[in-house]
Amino acid sequence: MDKNNVMANDETVAARIRGMMKESGAHLEGHFKLTSGLHSGNYIQCALMLRYPEFAAYAGEKLAERLAPAKPEIILSPALGGLIIGHEVARALGVPFIFCERQDGIMKLRRFPHPGNLRFALIEDVITTGKSSRETAQILVEGGADWVASASIIDRRSENTMDEWDLISLWKLSFPLYEEDSCPLCKEGLPLVKPGSRKD
């Protein structure tokens, strides 16, 4: 497949993801505090899209296609956001799936033995700063595993955030993000909502 066909295919997939987000009500608008601490007028709640198995399967298969050249032997995700999509990617690739979760504020591999020196790919639903992603992957790296790829449904990293990170994604977003002390939505007095699951 030549470069033009690859780009066209990427845009077709991104358009389908946008459509699924809209259809499922996963794209929210308002005033949100993200898990990164930054504020935004938009929030993508992937769980609302992933509750539909056919949507989750589509996203998982498309990520798996792009991850296949890295030949991961196991898929790793952080709970809770990465659970469904991580499992779908693993299913599509025919490899095992494991996840890390927070205990006392620290990400841990609580329910599984360390896989050893296997090649692994890290899968998320949405990546903004990559803090949880790096913390999760480091657990396996420190035990001798080889971090060969990273992927997410949505890449909403702001400009100059982890430019060195070769992240595979299905939809690259560029909604404005604000520090709390310079947030125009705060200045407008719009109610602040903290969606998602992480409370730290």
DSSP 8-state secondary structure symbol assigned to residue 158: P
Instruction: With cut-offs at 50, 70 and 90, classify the pLDDT of residue 159.
Output: low
User: May I ask the CATH class of domain 3-187?
Assistant: alpha beta
Task: Point out which residues pair with 172 in neighbouring strands.
Answer: 155
Given this model, what pLDDT does residue 164 score?
Answer: 66
| 165-171 mean pLDDT | 88
- Residue 157 phi, psi (nearest 5): -60, 140
| 120-148 mean pLDDT | 92
Report yes or no: 141 and 93 within 8 Å, Cβ to Cβ.
Answer: no
Give alpha helix (H) positions in the chain: 3-24, 46-50, 53-67, 83-93, 131-142, 184-187
Instruction: With cut-offs at 50, 70 and 90, classify the pLDDT of residue 163.
Output: low
| 169-190 mean pLDDT | 90
CA distance 12 to 23: 16
User: 């769980």: which residue's tokens?
Assistant: 47
Q: Residue 160 region, left (φ>0) first, then alpha (ψ -120 to 50), else beta? A: left
Contacts of 82 (CB under 8 A, 6+ apart): 99, 123, 124, 125
pLDDT in tens, 66-91: 999 999 999 999 998 899 999 999 99
| 106-122 mean pLDDT | 94
Domain assignments of the chain as residue spans, ordered by start: 3-187
Q: Is the peptide bond before 80 cis (omega within 30 degrees of 0)?
A: yes
Given this model, what pLDDT does residue 10 score?
Answer: 86
Given this model, what pLDDT does residue 7 score?
Answer: 55
- Residue 45 phi, psi (nearest 5): -100, 85
Please give the mean pLDDT across all residues of the chain: 88
Instruction: Quote the percentage of the chain above a pLDDT of 70.
Output: 90
Task: Point out which residues pair with 151 in neighbouring strands.
Answer: 123, 168
Given this model, what pLDDT does residue 3 score?
Answer: 46
Lowest mean pLDDT among 97-106, 125-134, 160-169: 160-169
pLDDT in tens, 179-188: 999 999 999 9
CA torsion 180-181-182-188 (nearest 10°) is 80
Given this model, what pLDDT does residue 5 score?
Answer: 46
Residue of higher predicted confidence among 126 and 35: 126
